[in-house]
Amino acid sequence: MKQPQAITAILQQLLEQCQPLYSQGKVADYIPALAKVAPDNAAIAVATIDGQIHTAGAADKNFSLQSVSKIFGLVMAMNRIGDDLWQRVNMEPSGQPFNSIVQVEWEKGIPRNPVINAGAILVADVLVSHYSASKSAFLTFIRRLVGEENIYADQQVYLSELEHGNRNAALAYLMKSFGNIEAEVPDVLAHYFHQCATAINCRQLATSLLFLANRGVQPHSNEQICSRRDAHRVNAILSTSGMYDQSGEFAFKVGLPAKSGVGGAIVAIVPQFGVITAWSPALNSFGNSVVGMQLISLFAEELGLSLF
Amino acid sequence: MKQPQAITAILQQLLEQCQPLYSQGKVADYIPALAKVAPDNAAIAVATIDGQIHTAGAADKNFSLQSVSKIFGLVMAMNRIGDDLWQRVNMEPSGQPFNSIVQVEWEKGIPRNPVINAGAILVADVLVSHYSASKSAFLTFIRRLVGEENIYADQQVYLSELEHGNRNAALAYLMKSFGNIEAEVPDVLAHYFHQCATAINCRQLATSLLFLANRGVQPHSNEQICSRRDAHRVNAILSTSGMYDQSGEFAFKVGLPAKSGVGGAIVAIVPQFGVITAWSPALNSFGNSVVGMQLISLFAEELGLSLF
Amino acid sequence: MKQPQAITAILQQLLEQCQPLYSQGKVADYIPALAKVAPDNAAIAVATIDGQIHTAGAADKNFSLQSVSKIFGLVMAMNRIGDDLWQRVNMEPSGQPFNSIVQVEWEKGIPRNPVINAGAILVADVLVSHYSASKSAFLTFIRRLVGEENIYADQQVYLSELEHGNRNAALAYLMKSFGNIEAEVPDVLAHYFHQCATAINCRQLATSLLFLANRGVQPHSNEQICSRRDAHRVNAILSTSGMYDQSGEFAFKVGLPAKSGVGGAIVAIVPQFGVITAWSPALNSFGNSVVGMQLISLFAEELGLSLF
Amino acid sequence: MKQPQAITAILQQLLEQCQPLYSQGKVADYIPALAKVAPDNAAIAVATIDGQIHTAGAADKNFSLQSVSKIFGLVMAMNRIGDDLWQRVNMEPSGQPFNSIVQVEWEKGIPRNPVINAGAILVADVLVSHYSASKSAFLTFIRRLVGEENIYADQQVYLSELEHGNRNAALAYLMKSFGNIEAEVPDVLAHYFHQCATAINCRQLATSLLFLANRGVQPHSNEQICSRRDAHRVNAILSTSGMYDQSGEFAFKVGLPAKSGVGGAIVAIVPQFGVITAWSPALNSFGNSVVGMQLISLFAEELGLSLF
How far CA C284 is from CA of C60, C246, C260, D124, in Å, comes to 24, 10, 12, 32
Quote the minimal CA–CA distance from B164 to chain D in Å. Answer: 8
**CA–CA separation, B233 vs D140, rounded Å?**
60
Of the residues D27, D46, D64, D70, which is catalytic?
D70
Query: D198-200 and D152-153 as β-strands: parallel, antiparallel, unpaired?
Result: antiparallel
A171/C contact by beta carbon, under 8 A: yes
What would the DSSP string read from start to end of D174-205?
HHHHTT---S-HHHHHHHHHHHHTEEE-HHHH
Residue C211 C-alpha from the chain's centroid: 14
DSSP 8-state assignment for residue C262:
T
Residues 21-80 of C with CB under 8 A from D: none
Question: Quick check: helix, strand or coil at residue D165?
Answer: coil
DSSP 8-state assignment for residue C116:
S
**CA–CA separation, A52 vs A46, rounded Å?**
8
Mean pLDDT computed over A248-266: 95
Question: Quick check: helix, strand or coil at residue A268?
Answer: strand
* C chain contacts of residue D255, beta-carbon cutoff 8 Å: 232, 235-236
pLDDT for B119-133, tens place per residue? 999 999 999 999 999
pLDDT band at A4 (very low <50, low <70, confident <90, very high): low
**CA–CA separation, B164 vs B10, rounded Å?**
40
Q: How many other CB atoms are there within 10 angstroms of residue B105's CB atom?
A: 21
Of the ranges B169-178, B215-224, D26-35, which one carries the lowest mean pLDDT score?
Answer: D26-35
Instruction: Please confirm, yes or no, whether C22 is among the known catalytic residues.
Output: no
The set of chains that have 3 or more CB pairs under 8 A with C is A, D
pLDDT band at A32 (very low <50, low <70, confident <90, very high): confident
Residue A3 has pLDDT above 90, yes or no: no
pLDDT value at position B30?
85
- C-beta of residue B243 within 8 angstroms of C-beta of residue B250: yes
* C chain contacts of residue A102, beta-carbon cutoff 8 Å: 101-102, 105-106
Closest alpha carbon to C44 in C76, C86, C12, C78: C12
Residue D176 C-alpha from the chain's centroid: 25
pLDDT value at position D30?
85
pLDDT band at B46 (very low <50, low <70, confident <90, very high): very high
pLDDT value at position B33?
84
pLDDT value at position C96?
79
Instruction: Please confirm, yes or no, whether C262 is among the known catalytic residues.
Output: yes
Asked whether the beta carbons of residue A95 and residue B91 sit closer than 8 angstroms, the reply is no
Instruction: Fill in the amino acid letter for A182.
Output: E
Mean pLDDT computed over B240-256: 93
DSSP 8-state assignment for residue C115:
T
pLDDT value at position C3?
67
pLDDT value at position B36?
87
Percent of chain A with pLDDT over 70: 99
Mutual angle of helices C155-163 and C185-196, in 10-degree steps = 140
Buried-state track A282-301, b at ≥16 Cβ within 10 A, e below 16: bbbebbbbbbbbbbbbbbbe
pLDDT band at A97 (very low <50, low <70, confident <90, very high): confident
Asked whether the beta carbons of residue A93 and residue B232 sit closer than 8 angstroms, the reply is no
Asked whether the beta carbons of residue B240 and residue A247 sit closer than 8 angstroms, the reply is yes
Instruction: Fill in the amino acid letter for D176.
Output: K
pLDDT for D102-142, tens place per residue? 889 989 999 999 999 999 999 999 999 999 999 999 999 99
Quote the minimal CA–CA distance from B95 to chain A in Å. Answer: 5
pLDDT for C23-38, tens place per residue? 899 999 888 888 888 8
End-to-end CA distance of chain C: 17
Binding region of C for substrate? 67, 117, 161, 168, 192, 244, 262
Asked whether the beta carbons of residue C248 and residue D308 sit closer than 8 angstroms, the reply is no
End-to-end CA distance of chain A: 17
Name the residue of chain A whose CA is nearest to B270's CA: A308
How far CA A3 is from CA of A254, A305, C99, in Å, comes to 21, 15, 61
* C chain contacts of residue A101, beta-carbon cutoff 8 Å: 101-102, 105, 170, 174
Q: Is the pTM of this model over 0.90?
A: yes
pLDDT band at C201 (very low <50, low <70, confident <90, very high): very high
* B chain contacts of residue D173, beta-carbon cutoff 8 Å: 166-167, 169-170, 173
pLDDT tens per residue across all 308 residues of chain D: 566 679 999 999 999 999 889 889 999 988 888 888 888 999 999 999 999 999 999 999 999 999 999 999 999 999 999 999 999 999 999 877 778 888 899 899 999 999 999 999 999 999 999 999 999 999 999 999 999 999 999 999 999 999 999 999 999 999 999 999 999 999 999 999 999 999 999 999 999 999 999 999 999 999 999 999 999 999 999 999 999 889 999 999 999 999 999 999 999 999 999 999 999 999 999 999 999 999 999 999 999 999 99
DSSP 8-state assignment for residue D289:
B
In chain A, what are the domains? 4-64+199-303 (3.40.710.10), 67-196 (3.40.710.10)
